[in-house]
């Protein structure tokens, strides 16, 4: 091998090592973000979720909430920092991570989707549309991920003492997975925006509306922007960077979906306590408060609301549908 060829090989090696180091930094940053949010919100979770009745929503919440401890904090970190990993081990490990990412993100999106369905008063026609489109989105997503995993190429450790897996190349077909996510996010964002705009025009409990609509819209915008950036990274940067933002997006989906449910239940708890205080002070609670208390029950345990009752002085009090 000539000096020029050797220099070229060394340059490629250093480029690959810098790329892997950057991906490791992003993965560790995603883990730190997830752990920080978990520490901040675990008190709310214990109080508002652990003691609540078991429902399908609670099961989905726990699945998408705790999967990152396994697929990101353990497997992804081991993929980047593990010692003496064979090519077969790397391939199996990354396959497990990617499939768990798909299932975890799908579970997080399910929570946000069910909330969007709830604000449409659990319309049966919309339910059919959501079930069909959800399957049309996430089943092909697993197929795209399978094609991507088959395209991956790993190499032997380039230098003694190398840690992690040395991924050489992979197909950009993985971009379809994130395009599917961004299309779904845009669809549900529109579903949230339409009744949200109407609700703000009608008026009502501002804190409740902010919790249901504003937070949901902002969270979806966060996910939409991150998915867009991820697609740009995959499309424009070298193939070695195709998984640069995967762990970040995985963790952010879990964080935001968990906060959606926690914020709604926290607001429901506050409204229940406010109602109890008014009763204990001997103040006659009007029908608007009672309907709000009923809405709280539906937030915590499921159900649908969409009633209009009379408040003080005969003014109308609107209870919007949410979950």
Within a 10 A sphere around the Cβ of 184, how many other Cβ atoms? 24
**What's the confidence (pLDDT) of residue 112?**
87
Distances (CA, A) of 200 to 77, 131, 217, 320: 44, 28, 13, 11
Which stretch of 41-50, 57-66, 115-124, 314-323 has the lowest confidence by average pLDDT?
A: 314-323
Q: What is the pLDDT of residues 185-229, one digit of tens each?
A: 888 888 888 877 776 677 655 665 666 666 767 888 888 889 999
Please state, in angstroms and rounded to a whole number, the distance separating the CA atoms of residues 30 and 34.
6
Please state, in angstroms and rounded to a whole number, the distance separating the CA atoms of residues 13 and 234.
21
**What's the confidence (pLDDT) of residue 240?**
82
Tokens 């762990």, residue?
247
Say what the pTM is.
0.81
Which H or E element spans position 264? helix 246-280
Give the residue with greater pLDDT, 232 vs 238. 232
Tokens 């060394």, residue?
10
Please state, in angstroms and rounded to a whole number, the distance separating the CA atoms of residues 160 and 42.
42
Average pLDDT of span 70-86: 92
- With 70 as the cut, is the pLDDT of residue 318 above it? no
Going through 108-241 in order, the beta strands assigned E by DSSP cover 153-155, 166-169
């Amino acid at each position: 091998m000539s000096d020029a060829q050797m220099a070229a090989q060394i340059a490629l090696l250093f480029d690959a090592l810098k790329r892997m180091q950057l991906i490791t930094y992003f993965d560790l940053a995603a883990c730190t973000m997830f752990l920080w949010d978990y520490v901040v919100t675990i008190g709310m979770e214990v109080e508002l979720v652990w003691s609540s009745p078991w429902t399908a929503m609670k099961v989905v919440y726990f699945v998408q909430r705790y999967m990152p401890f396994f697929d990101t904090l353990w497997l992804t970190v081991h993929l980047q920092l593990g010692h003496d990993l064979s090519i077969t081990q790397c391939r199996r490990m990354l396959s497990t991570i990617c499939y768990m990412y798909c299932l975890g993100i799908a579970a997080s999106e399910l929570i946000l989707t069910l909330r969007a369905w709830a604000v449409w008063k659990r319309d049966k026609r919309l339910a059919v549309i959501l079930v069909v489109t959800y399957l049309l989105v996430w089943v092909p997503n697993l197929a795209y991920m399978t094609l991507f995993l088959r395209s991956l190429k790993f190499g032997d450790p380039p230098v003694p003492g190398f840690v992690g897996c040395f991924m050489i190349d992979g197909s950009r077909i993985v971009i379809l997975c994130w395009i599917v996510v961004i299309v779904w996010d845009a669809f549900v964002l529109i579903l949230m925006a339409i009744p949200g705009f109407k609700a703000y025009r009608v008026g009502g409990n501002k804190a409740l509306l902010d919790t249901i609509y504003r937070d949901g819209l902002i969270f979806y915008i966060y996910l939409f922007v991150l998915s867009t950036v991820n697609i740009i990274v995959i499309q424009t940067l070298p193939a070695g960077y195709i998984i640069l933002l995967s762990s970040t997006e995985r963790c952010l989906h879990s964080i935001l979906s968990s906060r959606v449910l926690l914020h709604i239940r926290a607001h429901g708890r506050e409204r229940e306590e406010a109602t109890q205080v008014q009763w204990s002070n001997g103040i006659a609670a009007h029908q608007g408060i009672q309907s709000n208390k009923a809405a709280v029950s539906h937030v915590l345990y499921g159900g649908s609301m969409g009633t209009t009752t009379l408040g003080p002085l005969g003014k109308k009090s609107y209870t919007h549908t949410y979950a």
